[in-house]
Amino acid sequence: MELDGIYENMTLRNSLPQAGKGLSQQYCNLGQNSNVLDLQVKTADMISDALLWKARFERVNASIAALRGQNEILMQRLSEIYTVYKGSLYYFSCTEKPWVDAELTCVSKGSHLTSVTSVDEQSFLYKKANGFRYWNGLNRREDQKTFHWTDGTLYDEAKTKEFWITGEPNNNNNNEHCVHFSKKELKSWNDLNCESSLKFICKWNCESSGLCNEIFGHKH
């Protein structure tokens, strides 16, 4: 009996290392599984972050596309009221004002009502005006006799004679001292009462004002 007991104890002792080895392996496996789980969690977090950034990037791209579309619309509208011709920038107003108010509006923008110095410029302006009435800077308000341009350009009566409508200027009722474009043709000038409300055209020099580059993003 004693030998049997001793044998059983020896067998139990011999089996303990094997059992301990099994438990150790299970613990190692558990640690490995834990590492795998951590890696899976981190991978899932990275994928989630990537998806979030992808969504943000797509929203940014959509915003950029929308801004580009708005910019194209804005540039189209700008080109309808601002236009450049041979080194000058012109603003064609949408609102109507008496001549003095129109000139003051141009001055507040750093310009004057437009002058006309050549047949080419006259042709450009009356075509752009498209038959609508626009004030220009020619007037004789000071002495009611001598025309002059508000921007200081010398008025050449002989050179601009062909720009007047036949029979103009007639100074009707002796109170027409301001000039406007009235027709879509070379002979489009007419003198009119300065209190009349018309659209108007402001003019800048592109180089000295720097506005052509500022508005359109490139030099003209």
User: Which pLDDT score is estimated for 45?
Assistant: 77
CA 204 to chain centre: 20
Q: What is the pLDDT of residues 38-92, one digit of tens each?
A: 777 677 778 777 777 877 777 877 777 776 766 665 555 555 589 999 999 999 9
Neighbouring residues of 96: CB distance < 8 A, sequence distance ≥ 6: 197, 198, 199
Q: What is the pLDDT of residues 156-202, one digit of tens each?
A: 999 999 999 999 999 999 999 999 999 999 999 999 999 999 999 99
Phi, psi of 217 (to 5 degrees): 80, 5
Q: pTM for the complete prediction?
A: 0.67
For residue 90, give both structure tokens.
């012109």
User: Which pLDDT score is estimated for 189?
Assistant: 98
Q: What is the pLDDT of residues 102-159, one digit of tens each?
A: 999 999 999 999 999 999 999 999 999 999 999 999 999 989 889 999 999 999 999 9
Q: DSSP string of 69-81?
A: HHHHHHHHHHHHH
Which of the listed CATH numbers 3.30.300.130, 3.10.100.10, 3.40.190.150, 2.60.40.10 matches domain 86-216? Answer: 3.10.100.10
Domain boundaries, the chain: 1-81, 86-216
Beta carbons of 196 and 176 less than 8 angstroms apart = no
User: Ramachandran region of residue 86, left (φ > 0), alpha (ψ -120 to 50) or beta?
Assistant: left
